[in-house]
DNA sequence: ATAGAGATTAACCAAATAGTCAAAAAAACT
DNA sequence: AGTTTTTTTGACTATTTGGTTAATCTCTAT
């Protein structure tokens, strides 16, 4: 009876506030780092008084954890599973496309993730050790099968996965640098398509699939 | 008479202390971010009292600037200039090799740089707008020449440069993730060679040069 | 030896910041 | 309408931290 409370009415204000806070916090954590992002600055960006922030999240670290969790959920959705049934060509095409889409649609998530890893993955060690390691192992094995079957060139599957990750995420993480170098203010809609096209062509060729 | 002081004896202690401080600061800035790295923590890591740090660098921001400058100098050396006379194959080989070497020899420099860019390049805007933009434009033009001459496949030169940057730097910036996923404690010597080999093969193939 | 420049360091301070609290306002429920 | 629960918010506090100061020490040159 009282179990569903969280989802019914009471949850609405809470959910709204939490979302506003998390969005503000994500930006502040990117721009200022964990320590540099003050609860006050998050409050200001969210347009709420500081004490209200601490009412929804017990403390600053909880905010950060929530932001990270949100980021991992997004990673999970956006990863674009590699499907064995597709065969190497289509599988790689799909994988690249969904990773590029993630980078252009949610650059902030990618940036938070990147910062966390660069700083030593203090909060993601567990995620990397379990979930991620298994994911990479599985997909690498799949690539290896295709290689053994002569369906693609002999490329080290692990390094191939790293290559796809790095190239696709680069457009999110290094957004600022790319835009500055290209003398542009923002990405345009066609940029995503153009990048997808470039990476797909290039990587398929690298895999001997084109 | 007193002009050469800095280089003679008195400069020795100063140079030594500054180097120790910069090394400590670099690590702290990576691990904790700018705001999270306290002068005290830098002092502890350098094995010096806090007041001594502030004696050599007027304030915390000066320390950070010095670390960044050091990083850019290293970038400058390690960039491995692309030589037009080499032709595309050798030029790309050389470029990849020197970037990979940088990533394995000086991962911290790469990490500092990456964080700065992710955080909006507050302190590197000028560098990117002038030096970097020109560098990329020049090299892109060179690639274009080779393409027009039919010496390599038609790949967008800008995206090619970004691809080489992202893939090579990934081994420095995401060191923690790669090691965790591969279930390893440290890079071995042969890793650098193996990665160089992989990337060279793959990218040359992508450029239609193999 | 000794004067003077540079180096070291403990003690101190003002500002910033995470987190608490209590009281009031708003919403939800009966 | 009244009661309870949730939300909002200003005021307060303990702690951390960047930076200063002044006193001492060390080194070098004459």
SS (H, E, C) B111-158: HHHHHHHHCCCCCCHHHHHHHHHHHHHHHHHHHHHHHHCCCCCCCCHH
CA distance A64 to chain B (A): 14
Q: What is the pLDDT of residue A172?
A: 98
Residue at which a domain ends, from B34, B66, B98? B66
In a domain? residue B73: no
Per-residue pLDDT at B75: 87
Do B20 and B94 have their domain in common? no
pLDDT at B11: 62
Q: Is residue B72 included in any domain, yes or no?
A: no
Residues of chain B where predicted confidence (pLDDT) is lower than 50: 1-10
Domain match, A127 and A92 both: yes
Interface residues, strand C, Cβ cutoff 7 Å: A 5, 8-10, 12-13, 37-40, 50-51, 54, 58-61; B 5, 10, 13-14, 17, 48-52, 55
Low-confidence ranges of chain A (pLDDT < 70): 1-11
C-beta atoms of B119 and A31 within 8 A:
yes
With respect to residue A74, please indicate whether it lies within any of the assigned structural domains. Answer: no
| Residue B74 within a domain | no
Among candidate residues A18, A43, A66, the one where a domain is terminated: A66
| Residue A28 shares a structural domain with residue A128 | no
Statement to judge: residues B38 and B127 lie in one domain = no
Q: Which nucleotide is nearest to A63 (CA to C1')?
A: C18
Residue B101 and residue B200 share a domain: yes
List pLDDT tens digits, range A66-113. Answer: 999 999 999 888 887 788 999 999 999 999 999 999 999 999 999 999
Q: Which helix (H) or strand (E) holds B98?
A: helix B87-105
d(CA B105, CA A22) in angstroms, rounded, equals 37
List % helix, strand, coil for chain A (3-state, nearest 5).
Answer: 80, 0, 20
Q: Using CB atoms, which residue from B166, B178, B180 is nearest to A170? A: B166
pLDDT value at residue A88:
97
Q: What is the pLDDT of residues B98-115, one digit of tens each?
A: 999 999 999 999 999 999
Same domain, B97 and B171: yes
Domain that includes residue B61, residue range:
3-66
Q: What is the CATH number of the domain that holds A98?
A: 1.10.357.10
CA of B117 to C1' of C17 (A): 27
ipTM, 2 dp: 0.93
A2-CA/D4-C1' distance, Å: 15
Number of domains in chain B: 2
Among B36, B118, B166, the residue with its CB nearest the CB of A35 is B36
Is residue A39 a part of any domain in this protein? yes
Q: Are residues A135 and A195 in the same domain?
A: yes
- B53/B108 same-domain check: no
How confident is the model at residue A11, as a pLDDT? Answer: 65
The spacing between the Cα labelled CA in A99 and the C1' in D4, in angstroms, equals 49
Cα A21 to Cα A52: distance, rounded to the nearest angstrom: 10
Contact between B61 and B68 under an 8 Å Cβ cutoff? The reply is no
Query: Do A34 and A94 share a domain, yes or no?
Result: no
Q: Does residue A110 sit within a domain?
A: yes
Distance from CA of A121 to the nearest CA of B (A): 7
Please report, for the domain that includes residue A60, its CATH number.
1.10.10.60
Last residue of a domain, one of A14, A35, A66: A66
């Amino acid at each position: 009876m009282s179990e569903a409370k969280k989802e019914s009415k009471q949850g609405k204000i809470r959910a709204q506030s939490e979302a506003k806070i998390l969005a503000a916090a994500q930006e502040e954590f990117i721009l200022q780092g964990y320590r540099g992002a003050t609860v006050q600055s998050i409050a200001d960006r969210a347009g709420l008084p500081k004490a209200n922030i601490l009412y929804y999240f017990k403390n600053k670290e909880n905010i950060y954890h929530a932001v990270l969790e949100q980021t991992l959920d997004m990673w999970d959705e956006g990863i674009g599973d590699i499907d064995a049934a597709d065969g190497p060509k289509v599988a790689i095409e799909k994988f690249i496309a969904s990773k590029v889409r993630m980078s252009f649609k949610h650059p902030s998530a990618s940036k938070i993730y990147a910062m966390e890893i660069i700083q030593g993955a203090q909060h993601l060690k567990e995620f990397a050790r379990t979930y991620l390691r298994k994911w990479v192992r599985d997909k690498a094995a799949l690539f290896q099968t295709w290689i053994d079957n002569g369906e693609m060139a002999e490329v080290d599957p692990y390094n191939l996965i790293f290559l796809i990750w790095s190239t696709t995420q680069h457009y999110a993480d290094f957004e600022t640098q790319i835009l500055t170098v290209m003398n542009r203010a923002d990405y345009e809609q066609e940029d995503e398509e153009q990048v997808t096209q470039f990476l797909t062509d290039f990587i398929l060729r690298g895999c001997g699939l084109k």
